[in-house]
Amino acid sequence: MKFQKFSTTLLSSLLLGLIVSSGIVLFPKLTLAQERDKTPDELTDILKKIDRAASRQDLEDVMDFYSNDFTNSDGLNRENLSEALSKFWQLYQSVKYRTEVKSWETDGDAIV
């Protein structure tokens, strides 16, 4: 039981991180807001769309934010991310997502 709770917490953290990073990776040409401290509207909009899709547990919509050749540094790819989300949502049917941007900066044309 403890292992399941630990693995669920780990998976939840991993998935949230991936969802947040997807907006950065998939939409590198977001325009910056005039105000440096304000999160760009384009970034906020993308994150809200990802959060809504994940909260609805709409696997197809969530996966639309990932390219077909998506691979994380730990080897997670689009296929096993999809499988992990599906299994996670079967166990936790009422999970809701809300992403809060703590900081951001530009790196060329990308927001990181």
Taking only the tens place, the pLDDT of each residue in 73-91 is 999 999 999 999 999 999 9
Residue 52 located in a structural domain: yes
Q: Bigger pLDDT: 50 or 14? A: 50
Residue 3 located in a structural domain: no
Residue 36 located in a structural domain: yes
When divided into structural domains, the chain yields a total of: 1
Quote the pTM value: 0.66
Residue 108 has pLDDT above 60, yes or no: yes
Residue 18 located in a structural domain: yes
Residue-level pLDDT at 110: 86
Residue 1 located in a structural domain: no
Residue 28 located in a structural domain: yes
Domain of 44, in residue numbers: 11-111
Residue 3's pLDDT band, with cuts at 50, 70 and 90, is: low
Residue 65 located in a structural domain: yes
Kindly tell me the burial class for residue 22, based on how many C-beta atoms sit within 10 Å of its own C-beta (0-12, 13-18, 19 or more): buried
Residue 2 located in a structural domain: no
Residue 21's pLDDT band, with cuts at 50, 70 and 90, is: low
What radius of gyration do the chain's Cα atoms show?
A: 15
